[in-house]
Structure 1
């Protein structure tokens, strides 16, 4: 397979120490190329990056897990985009906010929770349900974890199990994602993330502080996965008829449009939207994770890219990474052609 410019861009961010290492996959129809560059860890000592290592994929949990289960429930008629979330979460006091708002990050939910990352799970849940709707409601996309935390709790009410159990049973297992889990067995098989006060080097445990506190009840972060498993996910997304019980084909095929309430806020259900030029200008799905991960999915061209790194290692947030990430994605989208 080709993509020399994309692979050079990946090598550059490793060589320039933007990230410690990268595991990647380039999918083009039925062809898949995977590879690794750099190292898995810098501290407490440098550690080789091995094929098959598990990454904390952070907010990719939203689209791989929580959105997939949500789409199943929508297809089954057990949930509606226009359901007020108070139907499922009566503790939330604003009936204007709907499932559509959560999925498209147009809920406008905002507010401050004192000592948020130090609260126990029940107190954090109470604090999140006590937030309020701000001025961006219904008209502006403002990305926020709380939307998918709430979505996970709604799924729990419908299915009677934790969101992470639901994702495991209804997405990971049927897609054959055998090395994807919320509870890794071997921390040394996991790529370490940041060194955190009070936690030390975080390895094999979710980096996200809300995910750490909420544990199995968090639908916004917490998943660990591998390049090969995410290739399986991407391939199923590109051809949902092969996994119709997991990824409802009608809804999956319709994700390349703006699903926000106004139809003009530039967001699909779950996914961000960008554009590619080949074979003609068209929309592409993508999503990133705070730890340094992203997926780019192009159903029109039958292509996808998986990118996994630990850009927060050893210190978060490593903001220079963001521009480099966008540049790599831009290079990939510009280079994508069918050879």
Structure 2
């Protein structure tokens, strides 16, 4: 796409410089949509080329493609309100100051540290999460955590009386016709991530909490491909989601409902990342978007160069978008 030529070159460079095995990416510019893929699906245990329809472990994109849209839908249907206290739905949560608003904007101040977290089963982890203390950062600071989204998932479960991932499938993925977006992927279609206990994870969430909580996890665990993620981006550019493109907090840096925001000359860009190597940028004013999916954690989890390049690519998108 001519408009995003420089950004396109930088994304391709991720593969050319072997920062990531491969990348599936696309741009939206009004009614024009362009997608591409380049590089490898895996380097270990053997090298395999991307075919273009692979499923990626979305990690935290689960938050904005599943849990957040479902909370917004419940608000639209007046089944909950933005400023409802969390303990209205989860009475085990003891701090009545914390609202759904704080969970969505990452301003709850909840201290997410749980000793021996990875040794807990699903029920034990949920109990520990509900008993986490609220710190002095409450309503004063944006601190990105999984905890708020997991609690929002538990609130969804109370309303729908079913596991959050089932509710997301029925209420979001099915109506939006995201047929390749799933919590139960076919392993052969998935890009691998990294080794856990000597085994490379393929089709299994890299996020330990997602593995522990299973279908009760609203913060991670979703898998999808480029086609569906582009379709989701297109939905998020529609008038219905226009209200999201602003800072909902009085803080800097601020936050939208569920989304990070980047200030732009004419308003705000919505932005979100996934730990395993993904990012989405949306500009509703110019009706443009960028979707980038990679498995930057393959074969080794830590990849600092990618994080630096991601920032450069976002800045290039913002520049090309003008």
Q: Tell me which interval the TM-score lies in, with the shorter structure as reference length.
A: over 0.9
2:139 match: 138
Match of 2:178 in 1: 177
Aligned to 1:256: 245
CA contact 1:276–1:334 (8 Å) conserved in 2: no
Alpha carbons of structure 1 residues 311 and 154: separation in structure 2 relative to 1, 3 Å: same
RMSD: 1.3
Q: Please give the residue correspondences for 1:1-339 in structure 2 after superposition, counting only pairs within 5 Å.
A: 1-2=1-2, 3-184=4-185, 186-197=186-197, 200-240=199-239, 249=240, 252-260=241-249, 262=250, 264-277=252-265, 281-337=266-322
Q: CA deviation at 1:317?
A: 2.7
- CA deviations 1:201-241 (Å, max 9, x no partner) are 0001111100011011000001101111011111111125x
CA contact (8 A) 1:274 1:283 kept: yes
| Structure 1, gaps ≥5 residues long | 241-248
Distance 2:41 2:161 in 1: 38
- Conserved in 1, the CA contact under 8 Å of 2:107 and 2:139? yes
Give deviations 1:165-189, integer Å, cap 9, x for gaps. 11111111111111110001x2110
Distance in 1 between residues matched to 2:86 and 2:268, nearest whole Å? 29
Using the TM superposition, name which of 117-126 and 65-74 deviates more: 117-126
Give the Cα–Cα distance (whole angstroms) in 1 for the partners of residues 32 and 318 of structure 2: 17
State the distance in 2 between where 1:270 and 1:336 align.
23
Per-residue deviation, 1:125: 1.0
Give the 4+ runs in structure 1 shifted more than 3 A: 262-265
Query: Size of the alignment, in residue pairs?
Result: 321
Give, in whole Å, the separation in 1 of the partners of 2:184 and 2:35. Answer: 25
- 2-side partners of 1:68 and 1:57: how far apart? 16
Aligned residue in 2 for 1:243: none
